[in-house]
Chains A and B, each alone.
Chain A
Amino acid sequence: MLRVNRTAVLALLIVSSSVFLLFQLHYYRKYVSKQPGSHIFRPAGHLTPGHLTASQVQWQVVKKFLALVQHFKLPLFLTDTAVLALLSQDALRQRDRLVREPHCSFLCTGRAVTSFALQANQWKYDPGFLLAAEQKGFEVMELRGVDPRLASLDTLSGEDIPLHFLFRLHNHVIQVVFLYERSGNYLWHGALRLKGDADRSFAAFKVLDYGRYAGAYDRPQLILTVLDGLDVRVPRNISHFLAQQKHARFLECRYRDARNFLQLYPDDSSAAAVDFRRKAKALLHLTARTLTRLDVPFWLSSGTCLGWFRQCSIISYSRDVDIGIFIADYRPDIIAAFTDAGLTLKHKFGKVEDSLELSFLIEDVKLDIFFFYDNGDIMWNGGTQAKSGRKFKYIFPRFSLCWAELLELKVRVPCETLDYVTANYGASWNIPLRVWDWKSSPSNVQANGVWPVAEWAELIQVY
């Protein structure tokens, strides 16, 4: 009986799997293969037969485009990651690279896109430029968006500003990213978003270096250079620029939600609150200066992060400024740097291996620096109660870092801000709480044992 069952089961399985296979084949033919640009059964990195000529086309197109740019005096510089990677120090050092084309060793990357950036404040928008480009045979796509410089707690609306230009010729696309000066002394570019009626097959949008998200950059120093016989401006410090490009994603503050929040809970405008905000702003700027000099990345944490996320400013009753630093970025000279900048060390808890936490004071505002430890699935930072030696652990879901603007300063915040804030403050983060106990109020706090009494002198330093 069992043997018969087995055979029957086998036969049944074969039949059903055949049907399933047929269905899959049908599905593949009908849906997957129609997706442009995806080649499931083709090996990755496969080169089209006309690749060599494609390179030449690329060079021709870039040349034609640069001539146009020169004529209209666009303050343009090269930001193409592939080209810049070839130009960067590391690549130049190992020049044993195969030179594919003798006259085109940099610009001909074989990619379908070359990207440039345009410093928008240095160019008076001239519709004649686009017309001229069209006359030269380029197909032009202009992408506009709202002006983020008007975004604030007030509702202002102006004309949409140009964010990206795409020029297509012989299937090669040139992307021009508009960089706008923002008040935190940095350059900003917008995300590339297609309007409902836009041509979705104009370019392979997925392979664009810029536009998936908005981005923030330091103002680069530019130098004029000759690449493959063409005059182009490139960032002076290319590897620095490329490093920035990888982590350039920018988050706009959620002003609309902040407005709603502030309508429910108006901002405290007493002299004391104004004074605290002024001091906190000064401290934040000082912190950013100090840590940038040390090349230590930091982000807004706890109350300061909540302030940015919830009301786009500093919570006036929070009485301190909180930042986070990955323990991997810890440097022993951080303390000295802050003391030199005029802050006094208030306490130091924990050690580099565990629950490190620094606290500084300037005027009457506290700066708390929490060091974050990476535990695979989660990230956490420690807390220590000075009088009892008890340790606490604050657990956050993994996060990456994004740029944001707070009080005319470009700072990092966790990209997954909502998760971060929710982890820290619970689902009701949207309701102000004036009474806050750092040991019990956060929803992500866990007891983490007690420091051994013998090590207290070393691990709990209060000044």
Chain B
Amino acid sequence: METWTPNPRAKPFIPRQQRSLYLTWKYKLTNKRTIRRFCQASAVLFLLITVIVNIKLILDTRRVASEDAAAQEYEDVIPNMETARRPANGRKVLDIEVYSSRSKVYVAVDGTTVLEDDMREQGRGIHVIVLNQATGHVMAKRIFDTYSPHEDEAMILFLNMVTRGRILIFTIKDEGTFHLKDAAKNLLKSLGSQVSLNLSWRDMWTLVVKKGGQVYGEKHSKSPALSTWGDPVLLKTEVQLTASEEAECHWADTELNRRRKLFCSKVEGYGSICSCKDPAPVEFNPDPLPINNVFNVPVAVIAGNRPNYLYRMLRSLLSAHGVNPQMITVFIDGYYEEPMDVVDLFGLKGVQHTPISIKNARVSQHYKASLTATFNLHPDANYAIVLEEDLDISIDFFSFLSQTIHLLDEDDSLYCISAWNDQGYEHTAEDPALLYRVESMPGLGWVLKKSLYKDELEPKWPTPEKLWDWDMWMRMPEQRKGRECIIPDVSRSYHFGIIGLNMNGYFHEVYFKKHKFNTVPNVQLKNVGSLKKDAYEVEIQNLLKEAKDKSKGWVSRSTTDHTELSFKKVGDGNPLRRWRVCVEVSAAPAEVLHRLLRERPLWETELQQEKILETLDKQTDVYLYSCSNMPPQPTCEYVVLRSWRTDLCKGSSALVSVSVDHEDSPPIGSVRGVVLESQYLLEPCGTGRTRLTHICRVDLRGRSPEWYNKAFGHLCVNEAQRIRSSFLPVDQTSPEAKL
């Protein structure tokens, strides 16, 4: 290009007439060769420069573009959640519509339906809605089925908990007055209701009122006859909103109170936590444990939409000694707001889970997701503590686990450690320091080993289409594989939930209510070492052997009222049998001993006379007593040597008596009986309770052997029961007296 040579084969130039002036001038120039050459060369040069600059610019632009692309990678690609918050409109009035009828209720606030219930066979009773008086937000929704008994009490409790100034909306669906007692009606009246006292069978009723303030509206329609319902009522009213400052308390500005404030502005029905003057604590600061082996064990709280339960549960959990709130995660099955509010109130971590499947399978899928997430969140953890939202947690829950958790590592035959004893009833469980192994998976607060979950359970966890209970599945032999769980004698958890998938009030009443719950802190467990498989086997065998020896030769007789009676033949030539009575007494062994020794009149109804003839030492005396018998039998008199001990093992006491002759007791007019044997053994069983065993062989003189075989045992039972009743409060008549 640099050297431009004219084309030799070019056609000669022929000027044309229509050529323009410019071209004519140019043509003249081209004829001047040197100038033409120069122009051409400079043009080419210019073009070259343009090309170079162009290339440079393209390169630079590309570099910048690629940097731009790199910068683009830092942009958040996920579209932001639209923050379309309703602008704080100047309106300060809420339009409220409330409808009450046999088959449908609804409540609309500013045109938004906040409650609608037209399901058949559901939602009977009084629906209550609480609105925030400053924002108009729904803070609580409850149904009280006041057609059924005791629901009105729950309603009174709830209404009393609602903060003053809140707006309350009431509406009845179907029937809500059958068990609405006067106390509840009076409370409604004090809230401002005009008609509450006259509410009766199948009436329809709506009420909008400010607690401790004005009534915004009330409508009522009477049922004309027993078999028909009142006409539907629709109440339309307006509520003036107040300034937000008035709706809030003035707590000190701390992190805790900020959480409290947020919580209290959103929900209602949690009692004193939102009290302005003296709010219940949000942080509990329980004592740490001196040695805590479970401080870094994650705690998974499995929850659904029962925020009140969750609140109670978390309170007890956060009050337990040695708790580490950092490790607690609450897994909520569904995107419910209120449980999340409770979790936030306590400053814990909450995770919501999109529900999968239905009924039992839904619970089971939620468990799986929660357990998987727990081990994902804490990859270093070897165990997880699994709790549910309807459990009370014992104060020494973590202490109990801290003392036992090493067993899971040391003993392959263990499946779990559970805080719950299915057999731990009030009348059976007594020793908080005692542990067992059981061939089951009790659940209700338990420890799961990661390897068990990851290697065995997770891969074959029931799939969503299987409507199985996760706990039933875990108890199946295919999963449990003969392994056992450690449980305490006295449960460290208490199941308080009354509503639930497999739960109702009746079942709760007859089963869970009678279970014992440990309230003693820092219990030192006693047989932890002997819980490993082999040691435990040996101990069980010993216990069985011991029990066999103890009961050898004893024949038991049926009795009534929690008393055990048995007899044994004695091969000493005397035909009298040895009788044994066992009964539990609500008093400490020392008290019982005192009653036996010094307070005979309190339980021996036929006592005529008693006297200590001689005191031999502090724990031995000679004692005379006489009892009247039913005529014609004469009064019978005994002189016995009594000896007692109070420092036997485990706090037991014993009293042994045997007939003796004594110089200070010359024969009087009555018959002298012979106490061949009388031994009282008083063992503690639970706090303030004693197991009284009386082994007794007495010759009353003047009865047939047949009588002794048939009746004497029951006299012994009678005596033991009298001792027991003597400890009952005076206003409680003994069961015997009732019979």
Using a CB–CB cutoff of 8 Å, the interface residues on chain A facing chain B are: 1-4, 7, 10-11, 13-14, 17-18, 20-21, 24, 28, 32, 35, 37-38, 40-41, 121, 124, 147, 149-150, 152, 154-159, 181-185, 191-196, 205-206, 211-213, 266-267, 269, 271, 274, 277-278, 408
* Cβ of A155 to closest chain B Cβ, rounded Å: 4
Residue B64 at the A interface, CB < 8 A?
yes
Which of A1, A147, A152, A181 is within 8 Å of B372, CB to CB?
A152
Question: Inside 8 A of B71's CB, which chain A residues have their CB?
Answer: 205-206
Are B77 and A152 within 8 A (Cβ)? no
Asked if B70 is an interface residue, CB under 8 A from chain A, the answer is yes
Judging by beta carbons under 8 Å apart, are A38 and B352 in contact?
Answer: no
Provide 16 A-B residue pairs closer than 8 Å at the C-beta atoms, listed in order of the A residue. Answer: A2-B11, A3-B10, A14-B43, A20-B50, A24-B57, A32-B60, A35-B67, A150-B376, A154-B373, A156-B354, A156-B373, A157-B351, A157-B352, A157-B353, A193-B75, A274-B459
Give the residue name and chain of the B residue nearest to A147 (CB): B377
* Bound-complex Cα distance A13 to B331 (A): 73
A159 to B349, CA, bound (A): 8
Return the CB mask of B1-18 against A: 1 if under 8 Å, else 0.
Answer: 000001100110100000
Whether B380 pairs with A150 at a CB distance below 8 angstroms is no
* Selected contact of B64 from candidates A7, A13, A32, CB within 8 Å: A32
B73 touching A182, Cβ below 8 Å: no
Any chain A CB within 8 A of the CB of B76? yes
Please name all residues of chain A whose beta carbon is closer than 8 Å to the beta carbon of B373 when the two chains form the complex.
149-150, 152, 154, 156
State in angstroms the CA–CA spacing of A149 and B80 once bound together.
Answer: 21
A20 neighbours in B (Cβ, 8 Å):
50, 54
Taking CB atoms, residues of chain A closer than 8 Å to B63 are 38, 40
Please report the C-alpha to C-alpha distance between residue A10 and residue B75 in the assembled complex, in whole angstroms.
48
B70: contacting residue among A18, A149, A193, A212, CB under 8 A = A212
- Interface assignment of B53: CB less than 8 Å from any CB of chain A: yes
Q: Once the chains are docked, how many angstroms separate the CA of A154 from the CA of B60?
A: 47
For B13, what are the chain A residues with a Cβ–Cβ distance below 8 Å?
Answer: 1, 3-4
Are B73 and A158 in contact (CB-based, < 8 A)? no
Query: B296 — nearest CB in chain A belongs to which residue?
Result: A121
B326 touches A124 (CB 8 A): yes
Residues in chain A near residue B354, CB distance under 8 A = 154-156
B43 proximity list for chain A (CB < 8 A): 10-11, 13-14
A159-B350, A191-B73, A274-B459 given; 17 more Cβ-contact pairs under 8 Å: A1-B10, A7-B26, A17-B47, A24-B57, A28-B57, A32-B60, A35-B64, A124-B326, A154-B354, A154-B365, A154-B368, A154-B369, A156-B331, A157-B353, A206-B74, A211-B74, A277-B459
Which residues from A are CB-within-8-Å of B122?
A: none
* B residues whose Cβ falls under 8 Å from a Cβ of A: 6-7, 10-11, 13, 26-27, 30, 36, 40, 43-44, 46-47, 50, 53-54, 57, 60-61, 63-64, 67-68, 70-71, 73-77, 80, 326, 329, 331, 349-354, 356, 365, 368-369, 372-373, 375-380, 454-455, 459-460, 463
Closest chain A residue, CB of each to CB of B36: A7
A208 nearest CB neighbor, chain B only: B74
Q: How far is the CA of A154 from the CA of B427 in the complex (A)?
A: 44
Question: Do B353 and A14 have beta carbons less than 8 Å apart?
Answer: no
Q: Which residues of B contact A7 (CB under 8 A)?
A: 26, 30, 36, 40
Q: How far is the CB of B344 from chain A (nearest CB, A)?
A: 9
| Nearest CB in chain B: distance from A210 CB, A | 12
Chain B residue contacts of A192, Cβ below 8 A: 74
> Could you say which residues of chain A place their CB within 8 Å of the CB of B57?
24, 28
Q: Tell me if A278 and B455 are in contact (CB < 8 A).
A: yes
Most buried by A among B7, B354, B379: B379
Which residues of A are found within 8 Å of B455, using beta-carbon distances? Answer: 278
Judging by beta carbons under 8 Å apart, are A32 and B353 in contact?
no
CB closest chain-A residue, reference B78: A193
- CB contacts (< 8 Å) of A196 on chain B: these are 76, 80
**Complex CA distance for A152 and B458, rounded to whole angstroms:** 13
- A40 with B67: CB separation less than 8 A: no
Is the beta-carbon distance between B75 and A152 smaller than 8 angstroms? Answer: no
Q: Nearest Cβ in chain A — how far from B336, in angstroms?
A: 13
Contact A14 B46, CB 8 Å, known A157-B351, A158-B351: yes
**A284 shortest CB reach to chain B, Å:** 14
Return the contact of B61 from the options A17, A32, A158, A267 (Cβ within 8 A): A32
| Contact in complex: B365, A24 (CB < 8 Å) | no
Residues of chain B within 8 A (CB-CB) of A191 are 73
Partner of B46, one of A17, A41, A124, A278: A17
Q: Are B7 and A14 interface neighbours, CB within 8 A?
A: no
A277 to B458 Cα, complex, angstroms: 12
Q: Which single residue of chain A is at the shortest CB-CB distance from B372?
A: A152
* Alpha-carbon distance A41/B50, docked complex (angstroms): 16
9 smallest beta-carbon distances between A and B, as pairs: A154-B369, A155-B354, A193-B76, A17-B50, A158-B351, A183-B379, A40-B60, A149-B376, A2-B10
Q: Which residues of the partner chain B approach A150 to less than 8 Å between Cβ atoms?
A: 351, 373, 376-377
Contact between B353 and A156, CB atoms less than 8 A apart: yes
Closest residue of chain B to A195 (Cβ to Cβ) is B76
Residues of A within 8 A of B350 (CB): 158-159
B10–chain A nearest beta-carbon distance, Å: 5
